[in-house]
Amino acid sequence: MRVVIQRAGASHVSVAGNIVGEIEGGLVVLVGITHSDTPEVVAKMARKIGGLRIFNDDAGKMNRSALDVDAEALVISQFTLYADARRGRRPGYTDAAPPEIAEPLVDEFVRALKAQGIKKVATGVFGADMLVSIRNDGPVTIILEM
């Protein structure tokens, strides 16, 4: 599992011109699933993200977690996180899990974030052509892999 996390202000995702998920502020989490991922990996990643101290405390230091600040999350499935562009100019995506494996794990990831205490978890539409508007705060961008 590979994720790109961006600390964000108000962000949203739309499909065919309609907003399908939005947050007022918190985290935008782009999620890539690979063949070997399991529900256990997904749960571990959710715990990591919930406790990741990337929000500022009163002294301006990144010392607070999403749970500490009641952050919201916008989760977007993104198979292109497993792009392999080491050779040639067109990336290959064979490391990305097929939809029948990836979609249930992304759904489980959303449930796991909620179980960690993230009160609002919005999503895009799996497999859709989405337009994601991210107002990166900081900017803070973190890449995690399990």
| CATH at 76 | 3.50.80.10
Q: Which of 6, 34, 55, 79 is catalytic?
A: 79
Length of the chain: 146
How many CA atoms within 13 Å lie on the side-chain side of 51?
Answer: 8
Chain-centre distance for alpha carbon 15: 17
Kindly give the pairing relationship between strand 26-32 and strand 72-77.
parallel
Q: Domain of residue 132: give its range.
A: 2-139
* Residue 64, pLDDT score: 97
Place of tokens 């009160």: 119
Residue 20 lies in a domain: yes
Examine the residue annotation and report whether 79 is marked as an active-site residue of this protein: yes
Q: What are the pLDDT digits (tens) for 21-34?
A: 999 999 999 999 99
Between CA 62 and CA 83 the distance in angstroms is 30
Q: Which of 6, 78, 116, 123 is catalytic?
A: 78
Query: In 3D, which of 106, 141, 146 has the Cα closest to residue 28?
Result: 141
Q: What are the pLDDT digits (tens) for 32-45?
A: 999 999 999 999 99
Examine the residue annotation and report whether 38 is marked as an active-site residue of this protein: no
Examine the residue annotation and report whether 78 is marked as an active-site residue of this protein: yes
Instruction: Report how many domains make up the chain.
Output: 1
Residue 25 lies in a domain: yes
- Cβ(71)–Cβ(24) below 8 Å: no
Residue 145 lies in a domain: no
Q: What are the pLDDT digits (tens) for 49-93?
A: 999 999 999 999 999 999 999 999 999 999 999 999 999 999 999
Residue 14 lies in a domain: yes
